[in-house]
Structure 1
């Protein structure tokens, strides 16, 4: 089974670059883990206050473990709303 996390975050006006910069540490840490197949935070090409999120994990347990141990740098204070879903894939 794999877990896909995908969606969008709507950020406070003008905060997109700061959010992406603050996300680099979490992205780097996640990508070093064997259980993380992909982790990306990307600027939306049309909406300057939006970033797109994509993650792929090999298990729910590994995703939860990362979430509970990842860096807390205050980046979510820059988020106005989020629309992110998780999908379980049976492979």
Structure 2
């Protein structure tokens, strides 16, 4: 049995006036993560429809790769309180083309 890939996906909200600052504060973390072995993708982005919402997507080759990065991630300090959150971690055992 192969090691499942890990997907972390979801969103959270902050005060709309703080959203862009929160997203910008994650730029260094995103750059470092994308250079980390086992990181397939990581994006923390402003939602185009909801001015308070920040979308989060992470794709990791394995749980081990994710945990190794978390040990050195050094995320930015919390700039604004999180108002709402819906985030899930998925263990993916099979991947195929979408179309």
TM-score, scaled relative to structure 2: 0.83
1:66 matched to 2:83 = no
Bigger proportion of residues as helix: 1
- Structure showing greater radius of gyration is 2
Q: 2:11 aligns with which of 8, 13, 26?
A: 8
Considering fraction of residues, name the structure with more strand.
1
Residue in structure 1 matching 2:54, options 51, 54, 59: 51
RMSD, aligned CA: 1.5
**Alignment CA distance shift 1:83-1:15 (3 Å):** same
Gaps of 5+ in 2: 95-99
**Contact 1:25/1:71 (<8 A) preserved:** no
Distance 2:81 2:52 in 1: 10
Give structure 1 regions of 4+ aligned residues with deviation exceeding 4 angstroms: none
